[in-house]
Amino acid sequence: MPQLSRIAILCALLSTVPATAGAQKLTMSANSLIAHDANEVFLRVSNRGGFGLALGDADVGNFPTGTLNRYIFGAGLWIGGIGDVDNDGQPDQITTIGYNPTNLADIEWVEGAVGFGRNDPRFRVLDSTNPDDQDDFPATPVATEELFTVYGDRFSTFGSGQSSVPLGVEVRQRSFAFIEADLDTAVIFQWDFLNISDQIRDTGYTIEDLWTGIMLDPDVQVSPVGSVLDDTAAPLAVDGEEVLLIWDSDFSEPGFEGAPGFMAVVPLVNPGGQTTITQLTSQFGANVLIVPTTDSNQYETLAGIAPREPTIVEPGFDLRALIGWGAIDLAPGAVHRTAAAFVWADASGDPPPLLSPLDPTLDQDLPLLADLVAAVRSVRQAYDQRLAGLAALLDFPGEPTPGPGPGFGEPGVVLQNFPNPFTDQTTIQYSIIDAGDVELKVFNIIGREVTTLADGPLEPGEYTAIWDGRSISGVDVPAGVYVIQLVTPAGTSSVRALKSR
């Protein structure tokens, strides 16, 4: 009996929804929360782009573990770009999508993906340390703990009555925790963004000037009901690349819980090459920006565009902070990878009574920051060596969802191409079980044939093919997701390949 085709799965995953879907208003289903708690920090992760999520004062899982100091009280993923609002196939209006720690109702990310019901069980947060989820992760783990979840912006979900327009992005999010020294106070996030504009509009479009960012609400408290007005933020260049630094500026406050410490949000993948860091507040304060509430000033703040220019001032308000990195253009069906880490470290040595974000000595050579700077370097190295080369995780872990068409055959008949992502060429290894006619073809994201890599009779054995990223007519195909499909007498097998340019 034929099994299910991976192409069919792909078509089910990206099946077209009505163009009116962007106008729908959805009630959020139950939020899925899993804690990254395998190492020295504790960071809850949701399936709607949020991290931290307003832990209670009595919760021993605050960040860092066992303290009242919530360096991440609430944080979440933001993106912004120029999308197609009038549905003519051309980008025409700034659109932002994100998590708002000031008003939890204003979370615009929706769990799940186009073509699947919103309550599909795979749209919870999957945990590699949970016995029920372990079969959904690679047999050889890349970290002590890995979480995986899927969410997107295919519907308008803004909860405060404001207009919200889908930009056309789905997110595959992986996050990693390690227990070895120098990495045990960090959580690393990796995101693969898929342009799904052709699934929510009549015509797909390139998302122009796409920015990625993290909106953050830290509450470094002195007691369960103490002041949180000394939280502060500043950019810190570590080996020439900026991170967002968070700390409590008044180390001498009575009742300060735990050792003074510092947290950094560290961009790890930034093809756009620009970083912006801004202090914000939910209440009026001299010279500090109010948390933006509309698409235009959200995007201006994310991208550091006047009049919402990055601002760093003395503390004295309940801090919010925003770090953004970009900008890139994302074509329909294309995938953009970015990554960042939350890193924490105790202050090194004896802290002064006060440390201002405007202090001219606030740089990577400040003795107080020695342990944090070392941790940032370790995280960057670990990402480059262990995580940067991971294949884009665009299929869902676990059992595939049935769809129409011929069947998906023996798993592992065609192996994952390498490198993946690739730019100029990629290698595909495949094995033949039974002698007979064999086809190895490449299809684009909507199932159209791009080229043929093998076509004819083969004996049982192992084979290798090279794809140079060109169509059958010799044209260099655009960046995006492609499906490499092997058809043999024993069945059909496929993998996804990501061409990065």
Residue 412 has pLDDT above 50, yes or no: no
CATH assignment of the domain containing 469: 2.60.40.4070
Residue 411 lies in a domain: no
Residue from 454, 453, 483, 486 nearest 468 by CA: 453
Opening angle at CA 149, ends 381 and 69, nearest 5 = 65
Q: What is the pLDDT of residue 203?
A: 83
Task: Report the pLDDT averaged over residues 288-298.
Answer: 88
CB-based contacts of 309, cutoff 8 Å, min separation 6: none
Taking the C-alpha atoms of residue 308 and residue 446, their distance in angstroms, rounded to an integer, is: 39
Q: Which of 359, 387, 415 is the last residue of a domain?
A: 387
Q: Model confidence at 222, in pLDDT bands (50, 70, 90)?
A: low
Residue 403 lies in a domain: no
Which stretch of 25-39, 173-187, 423-437 has the lowest confidence by average pLDDT? 25-39
Q: What are 88's two structure tokens?
A: 């003519």
Q: Which of 387, 414, 445 is the last residue of a domain?
A: 387
Which stretch of 152-161, 170-179, 198-207, 296-305 has the lowest confidence by average pLDDT? 152-161
Q: Which residue has the higher pLDDT, 317 or 189?
A: 189
Task: Report the pLDDT averaged over residues 263-275.
Answer: 95
Which stretch of 32-41, 67-76, 316-325 has the lowest confidence by average pLDDT? 67-76
Phi, psi of 9, deg, nearest 5 = -60, -45
Q: What is the pLDDT of residue 59?
A: 64
Q: Are residues 344 and 461 in the same domain?
A: no
Residue 119 has pLDDT above 70, yes or no: no
Query: What pTM was estimated for this model as a whole?
Result: 0.75
> Number of folded domains in the chain?
2
Most confident option among 164-168, 190-194, 425-429: 190-194
Task: Report the pLDDT averaged over residues 371-389.
Answer: 95
Q: Model confidence at 7, in pLDDT bands (50, 70, 90)?
A: very low
Which helix (H) or strand (E) segment holds residue 380: the answer is: helix 370-382
Q: Which residue has the higher pLDDT, 95 or 114?
A: 95
Task: Report the pLDDT averaged over residues 141-166.
Answer: 77
Most confident option among 65-74, 175-184, 256-265, 419-428: 175-184
Mapped onto helix, strand or coil, the DSSP state of residue 143 is coil
Residue 416 lies in a domain: no
Q: Are 371 and 428 in contact (CB under 8 A)?
A: no
Q: Are residues 447 and 321 in the same domain?
A: no
Q: Are residues 155 and 223 in the same domain?
A: yes
Task: Report the pLDDT averaged over residues 368-394.
Answer: 91
Q: Model confidence at 162, in pLDDT bands (50, 70, 90)?
A: low
Residue 397 lies in a domain: no
Q: Are residues 227 and 321 in the same domain?
A: yes
Q: Are residues 382 and 433 in the same domain?
A: no
Task: Report the pLDDT averaged over residues 154-174.
Answer: 74
Q: Are residues 478 and 335 in the same domain?
A: no
CB-based contacts of 254, cutoff 8 Å, min separation 6: 222
106: containing domain: 6-387
Q: Are residues 380 and 486 in the same domain?
A: no
Q: What is the pLDDT of residue 410?
A: 39
Q: Are residues 129 and 224 in the same domain?
A: yes
Q: Are residues 157 and 204 in the same domain?
A: yes
Residue 21 has pLDDT above 50, yes or no: no
Q: What is the pLDDT of residue 300?
A: 95
Q: Which of the 8 DSSP states describes residue 23? A: G
Q: Are residues 281 and 146 in the same domain?
A: yes
Residue 269 lies in a domain: yes
Q: Are residues 218 and 159 in the same domain?
A: yes
Question: pLDDT, tens digit, for every residue of 241-254?
Answer: 999 999 988 877 76
Q: Which of 334, 365, 387 is the last residue of a domain?
A: 387
Q: What is the pLDDT of residue 116?
A: 65
Task: Report the pLDDT averaged over residues 158-185.
Answer: 83
Residue 393 lies in a domain: no
Q: What is the pLDDT of residue 18?
A: 28
Q: Are 211 and 325 in contact (CB under 8 A)?
A: yes
Taking the C-alpha atoms of residue 242 and residue 360, their distance in angstroms, rounded to an integer, is: 16
Most confident option among 28-37, 231-240, 349-358: 231-240
**Residues linked to residue 429 through DSSP beta bridges, in sequence order:** 464
> What distance lies between CA 416 and its chain's CA centroid?
22
Mean pLDDT of the chain: 80
Residue 175 lies in a domain: yes
Q: What is the DSSP string of 342-360?
A: EEEEEPPSPPPSB--TT-T
Q: Model confidence at 430, in pLDDT bands (50, 70, 90)?
A: confident
Q: What is the pLDDT of residue 259?
A: 67
Q: Are residues 380 and 478 in the same domain?
A: no
Residue 129 lies in a domain: yes
Most confident option among 49-53, 104-108, 309-313, 489-493: 309-313
